[in-house]
Structure 1
């Protein structure tokens, strides 16, 4: 009886210690958000809106088939910039790379400091044939209706090009002088990989020995209802982006008449391989940029969620299980598998001699292409299926502890005072990865507050941005240049 009572006391004591320790971790979790500073920037809204509106009218469309490019529209856009921002062209060094990529250098007073770079792109995706009538406003009209600017590029990414130049123009008028060199770099083929735009800029600057302290490109934005347990909008700054890889599974063998099939045909074996991959999946692991994100948002969560994340070492398996339940959060913690193409057969009564499948993978930092290939081969366990994989590795992971990230975070907080600003892992591609070889850090952030519907409009129908969002984007770029000067 005494032993049973003693055991009960020990269990109660351990439970009490557990509650005290985990409760202490929760209550002492400190916010990682800097206090916002009042923004005093006053932009000429009428002129700024007119500039973005006009920029949208140029059909600077990127096509996978480069022969379809209408470069006369790109030339008109470049001429428009020079006419619109004469002070920028007078005070900054300007050059064109590959005729259409644009580089502006604002000379700083202290050559001992590494420069920073702000980059965007002015090419846009085509309007899908047959969807033109679904647009409320013509996609290249740049019309201003209901306090919104409409058209291709309002979100992706002429807003970045015009927003940055508006900010520089404003700072020039204010007499601002940068301590460090600042570069503003605008690609013209980002939507098809950036090989002749951002990549050419990087090669040019690399030859000159230029190294950036950081480069800031488009990417994450400020989104409401993004993180469970956080009431405020969350602004996510990409500190890395996933790699994009294509795996092809192929099998060849005897065909024959469909009246006498083998138990396992070429189609069946490829289908089985895909089924195994979908059933197995890569292991979810809360690490790297995903882990960083929750470290920044956890202090702002409701108590229950904060308790779980403050004691991540204990609850990590539970957290990972929850994150894996939704595609968006699962993609944050694992390499994803998406079969997209299946090819086999030509005749309904003839067994195909060859079958193949294409799988798109978005690769986590730390998962190399060679590791991904081995995982596929081990999982499908079929020596007759050939696996080939091509693509890009994940970009490097940039720091969240240095002044570089903190200055971007501060600038965002200055403009969006209620937002929680945190690092994250970007799933899509951007020009930022091109700058990895010449930048110590690369970040990805589109300084607008948008909805999940707005995200779908970026490459879809009815792309538009509110005037308030656009004006805030300009103010952010002003703030980020000021913060980099400190």
Structure 2
């Protein structure tokens, strides 16, 4: 889901300094889970050594060198009437209800996938210049995964890989009466396209084909470097691996590991008031992810003879214990948010002076203090510098006069860059252990034997903590130096000059959520999440991804086309280190 920046006002050198907000996405994940011992809480000694407060180095990477804008060979010039035609194409894409669900079956079996086939037909019909090009090949991976390859003349050059997804989240019928225009209407009011998926992620996908159409329609454009467009169909599903997961495996089998020059997906974009400077903030990493199921087993019985605390009461205590023990803020020296603050300290005239001193010091104590100050400026900033925990589902009981024998909750974690899955599990187990002891319940914390066998060992009185789905470690940090970074950041500077026409500062940033890039990391060390949408103007309608009145700005849609048009050319012309 694309990220839309929210601008801050002027900052002062105090702990109340306001800082830029970048709204980020919340998405599914993939990784290897750490399994702890079966029936005992994890020790605080293990917690301390697990990396939860891993800040021993005092060397903070400097802000990336700010090069010059990289001007592509072909100028971005749109013919008369293009704006309206492009808006109409985005509107049509939104009207095709490509909704993915958490319980979708196989593409060849589940009838709910039917609109995705309609979208495929629409895509080929709408962009004939691309699909009828002598350079283009369209392949379908696992039926609905789309892989468009624009073959370059030099097969020794690593391809440019552009990602986007064409599935969207559901728009619940009970919310239809709250939409200004229909949830899948694609309504165009002259400034915005309305409908589910308008901003997440069809504006990017459509813009990619708009840009390629403009390039391939020019007879002088003969691609030297291969360009690949990969489109998943279940990015919005929590546990899905049918789309991007299969596409990534397909590409790795064909091209091998570390075979892509650069991978770009949806993500963060611009901030026009980062303490008085204008920034572009591509995400060079994204936080980790872990869902957890916590189950309380009790004796049950007739509600006329209740115990002092039913299973629901006990899980209520567990919820309180979890929320009373939030994860601390922290910075690791390679944290992308610390990198962003370092760039702001160097380039923003209104950056807080006391924060700058902490960055200059670089000691673990200074970085801890900086994380606390930055986290205190807002809920989004706090989420960027700490592991977050959210209890989202709770269920227990079947009848009003029966005590529940089993109660469970589901909770979500977004794991901070200085932490990992193991440390997050340990923190959670240590928060819950006193509650289990208080009520005389056996504790099973991330046991290898989790499941029916563990239930039999535990008996009827227990607290069981287990991962729900596959967790994900924080993503690798992409390289912020060298030729590929210079080409990437220079292309951003060209496509998005500041309001006075000067070059924009390009800084690392991060995503709180996860994109399809999570399965593509073996293919490149240069993986970025950058949509290319414009920062919203004062009073502008928010994008509202995943909620009522989701919209895409037409002006911003055109800016994304310009971005793809620029990066495709500059990657094609790039002659640096592969």
Same-fold call, TM cutoff 0.5: yes
Taking a change above 3 Å as real, the CA distance of residues 439 and 454 of structure 1, as seen in their structure-2 partners, is farther
Q: Where does residue 11 of structure 2 map in the other structure?
A: none
Map 1:225-240 to 2 at 5 A. 227=274, 230-240=275-285
Shift of 1:256: 5.8
Shift of 1:216: 0.7
Taking a change above 3 Å as real, the CA distance of residues 38 and 254 of structure 1, as seen in their structure-2 partners, is same
Q: Where does residue 20 of structure 1 map in the other structure?
A: none
Q: Where does residue 465 of structure 1 map in the other structure?
A: 552
Taking a change above 3 Å as real, the CA distance of residues 277 and 108 of structure 1, as seen in their structure-2 partners, is same
1: CA distance between counterparts of 2:565 and 2:301?
Answer: 69
Q: Where does residue 323 of structure 1 map in the other structure?
A: 374
1:50 to 88, 111, 129: 88
Q: Where does residue 341 of structure 2 map in the other structure?
A: 294
Q: Where does residue 255 of structure 2 map in the other structure?
A: 209
Unaligned runs of 5+ in 1: 1-28
2: CA distance between counterparts of 1:188 and 1:196?
Answer: 8
2: CA distance between counterparts of 1:297 and 1:200?
Answer: 39
Please tell me whether residue 34 in structure 1 is matched to residue 67 in structure 2: yes
Q: Is the 8 A contact 2:70 2:487 kept in 1?
A: no
2: CA distance between counterparts of 1:440 and 1:37?
Answer: 21
1: CA distance between counterparts of 2:380 and 2:319?
Answer: 21
Taking a change above 3 Å as real, the CA distance of residues 265 and 170 of structure 1, as seen in their structure-2 partners, is same
Question: 3-state DSSP class of the match of 2:533?
Answer: strand
1: CA distance between counterparts of 2:190 and 2:405?
Answer: 59
1: CA distance between counterparts of 2:93 and 2:405?
Answer: 53
Give CA-to-partner distance per residue, 1:450-472, whole Å, 9 cap, x none. Answer: 44986661111222222221111
Taking a change above 3 Å as real, the CA distance of residues 464 and 223 of structure 1, as seen in their structure-2 partners, is farther
Please tell me whether residue 433 in structure 1 is matched to residue 466 in structure 2: no
Shift of 1:474: 0.5
Give CA-to-partner distance per residue, 1:11-60, whole Å, 9 cap, x none. Answer: xxxxxxxxxxxxxxxxxx97844333567311232433332232222222
Give CA-to-partner distance per residue, 1:312-348, whole Å, 9 cap, x none. Answer: 1264233222233332112212211112223344566
Considering only CA atoms, is the larger Rg found in Structure 1 or Structure 2?
Answer: 1
Question: 3-state DSSP class of the match of 1:247?
Answer: strand
Q: Is the 8 A contact 2:91 2:188 kept in 1?
A: yes
Give CA-to-partner distance per residue, 1:202-238, whole Å, 9 cap, x none. Answer: 122222234212211111122455x5xx234543212
2: CA distance between counterparts of 1:31 and 1:440?
Answer: 16
Give CA-to-partner distance per residue, 1:373-421, whole Å, 9 cap, x none. Answer: 2221122223453221233213322222233333332222212212443
Segment of structure 1 superposing worse, 141-150 or 451-460: 451-460
2: CA distance between counterparts of 1:137 and 1:264?
Answer: 48
Question: 3-state DSSP class of the match of 1:280?
Answer: coil
Q: Where does residue 389 of structure 2 map in the other structure?
A: 337
1:127 to 145, 168, 171: 171
Question: 3-state DSSP class of the match of 2:426?
Answer: helix
Shift of 1:351: 5.1
Moved over 6 A (4+): 257-261
2: CA distance between counterparts of 1:347 and 1:132?
Answer: 32
Please tell me whether residue 386 in structure 1 is matched to residue 464 in structure 2: yes
Q: Is the 8 A contact 1:300 1:306 kept in 2?
A: no
Shift of 1:475: 0.5
Question: 3-state DSSP class of the match of 1:192?
Answer: coil
Q: Where does residue 16 of structure 1 map in the other structure?
A: none
Q: Where does residue 198 of structure 1 map in the other structure?
A: 244
2: CA distance between counterparts of 1:135 and 1:347?
Answer: 36
Taking a change above 3 Å as real, the CA distance of residues 254 and 130 of structure 1, as seen in their structure-2 partners, is closer
Shift of 1:310: 5.4
1: CA distance between counterparts of 2:175 and 2:385?
Answer: 35
2: CA distance between counterparts of 1:66 and 1:349?
Answer: 36
Question: 3-state DSSP class of the match of 1:401?
Answer: coil
2: CA distance between counterparts of 1:86 and 1:215?
Answer: 25
Shift of 1:86: 2.1
Q: Where does residue 145 of structure 1 map in the other structure?
A: 189
Segment of structure 1 superposing worse, 350-359 or 198-207: 350-359
Question: 3-state DSSP class of the match of 1:131?
Answer: helix
Q: Is the 8 A contact 2:208 2:564 kept in 1?
A: yes
1: CA distance between counterparts of 2:187 and 2:350?
Answer: 45
Q: Report 1 or 2 for greater relative contact order, CA contacts < 8 Å, sequence distance ≥ 6.
A: 2
Segment of structure 1 superposing worse, 268-277 or 111-120: 268-277
